[in-house]
Amino acid sequence: MKHRFLIVGLLLLFGLSSVWAQTEPPVVDSMVVDSTELFPAAVSDVQVVDKPNDHGHAVIVTWETSADDGGGKNNVLRYEIFYSTSFDGPFDSVGAVPAGTGEFRHIGSKEPLDSAFVPDYTDLFYQIDAVTADPTIRTTSDVLGPVQCSGQWFNTGRIPVLVAVLIFGLLTAFFVLSAKRGKKLYVRPIGGIEAVDDAIGRATEMGRPILYVLGLGSAADVATIASFTILGRVAKRVAEYQTELIVPTYDPIVMSVAQEVVKSSYFDAGRPEDFKEDCVHFVTQSQFAYVAAVNGIMLRELPATCVYMGKFFAESLLLAETGSLAGSIQISGTDEIAQIPFFIVACDYTLIGEELYAASAYLGREPKLLGSLKAQDWAKAAFVALAIVGLLAANFEWFEFTTLFQVID
């Protein structure tokens, strides 16, 4: 009897253990529990605002990174940002940023037919997913919004530029008016400028032409416009001395303007009948074909003087070296920094950068043109003063001052 209870008890225990063994989901259940633990914490303190100082169609999303980004489970790999025009979705992915980042700029397209279009003046909703190495393991934030984006009518980030515009404008106006009232404005001698008149005289003595190259710039480039003024001066002297002038051009609009400028100079010199329109002619809008043609002109016409003023690129050295081979006196000026060394080496006189603009103002022979040169010098003086104050500010960490000059686009 005693044994019977013992045997039944053991059988029951065996049976129960078997049933328990079958009903218990040991492996699968434990996995579910573990994966739940792998889900990272959601991001917090999310804010969505319209991007300021833009044309609209853009939103800035900021958030506090997940507790598991750089700490906790440390398993957040990136954040994915989704947006929708409805609170209930569907939400479309608009981008992702790596872990550790707390900001995303959703810059949409302004074209309604573009898939990346983001409408203005429309409620927009955002969600941010903290994503782990396994893209299926992610935690989605609450829906945020609504936010509306729109364009602004004033870019506050460009206030420093506006201040500079106003100051520079006023300085220029002041000096131009001073010059108009007859105040003498001193400009230091610049080698290349003085050389222009001598070079024209030399060409006349030798009975050889003057070659004037306006470069590869368009009529809209300020360097080319400065060059027109210099061309005007050169053409006037050429007309007075009755020397030949050759102006091959790269741009058809530049050709039109140059023809007008040279024609005017011949009128001013009192020799309109000597003006030949074809002395200013178009070559081609292909950079090296233009160089090939100008080089040919140099070696065939053997100009006494070659003047290169305007925008130049890789062709600068090809032109200047050929001019040198032709035995010409060469005067150059460009604002293309990379080409200045070649002109310095191959030409007799080179106007470096701003000197081209100074030469233009100087050779224009009008006092009011020098007004802006004075304003430029004042701006340079202001730059030096600001640089010294800024230097102190940077060393003593006066960030209020240094941030004043930051332009934010």
Considering only residues 343 through 362, tell me which ones interact with other proteins, judged by CB under 8 A: 344-346, 352-358, 360-361
Question: At 231, phi and psi to the nearest 5?
Answer: -60, -40
Binding mask 298-337 for other proteins (x = CB under 8 A): -xx-------------x--xx-xx--x----------x-x
CA distances from 283 to 193, 225, 289 (A): 28, 19, 8
**Nearest-approach distance from CB 27 to other proteins, in angstroms:** 53
Q: Where in 63-82 is the site for other proteins (CB under 8 A)?
A: none
Q: Does 54 bind other proteins (CB under 8 A)?
A: yes
The two tokens of residue 359 are 């030469």
**Nearest-approach distance from CB 342 to other proteins, in angstroms:** 6
Q: Does 105 bind other proteins (CB under 8 A)?
A: no
Q: Does 286 bind other proteins (CB under 8 A)?
A: yes
Q: Does 240 bind other proteins (CB under 8 A)?
A: no
Residue 147: which H helix or E strand, with range? strand 144-147
**Nearest-approach distance from CB 126 to other proteins, in angstroms:** 22
Helix 287-301 vs helix 315-325: crossing angle, to nearest 10? 10
Considering the complex, state which of residue 62 and residue 287 has its C-beta at the smaller distance from other proteins.
Answer: 287
DSSP string, 25-89: -HHHHHHHHHHHHHSPPPPEEEEEEEPSSSSSSEEEEEEEPPTTSSSTT----EEEEEEESSTT-
Q: Which of the stretches 59-67, 68-76, 85-93, 255-263 binds other proteins when contact is defined by CB under 8 A?
A: 255-263
Q: Among residues 234, 248, 237, which one has the least CA distance to residue 279? A: 248
Strand order in the sheet with 349-352: 280-282, 245-249, 210-215, 305-311, 329-334, 349-352
d(CA 192, CA 348): 8
Residue 180 CA, distance from chain mean position: 37
**Nearest-approach distance from CB 105 to other proteins, in angstroms:** 15
- Interface pick for other proteins out of 145, 232, 303, 310 (rule CB under 8 A): 232
Q: Where in 257-276 is the site for other proteins (CB under 8 A)?
A: 257, 259-261, 263-264, 267-268
Q: Which residue has the tokens 């329109």?
A: 277
**145 torsion bin: left (phi>0), alpha (psi -120 to 50), beta (else):** left
Q: Does 109 bind other proteins (CB under 8 A)?
A: no
Q: Where in 166-225 is the site for other proteins (CB under 8 A)?
A: 168-169, 172, 176, 185-188, 190, 218-223, 225
**Nearest-approach distance from CB 106 to other proteins, in angstroms:** 17
The two tokens of residue 254 are 């530049």
**Nearest-approach distance from CB 392 to other proteins, in angstroms:** 9
d(CA 376, CA 367): 15
Q: Does 1 bind other proteins (CB under 8 A)?
A: no
Considering the complex, state which of residue 127 and residue 328 has its C-beta at the smaller distance from other proteins.
Answer: 328
The two tokens of residue 234 are 């050169």
Q: Does 107 bind other proteins (CB under 8 A)?
A: no
Q: Does 368 bind other proteins (CB under 8 A)?
A: yes
**Nearest-approach distance from CB 361 to other proteins, in angstroms:** 8
Q: Does 94 bind other proteins (CB under 8 A)?
A: no
**Nearest-approach distance from CB 210 to other proteins, in angstroms:** 18
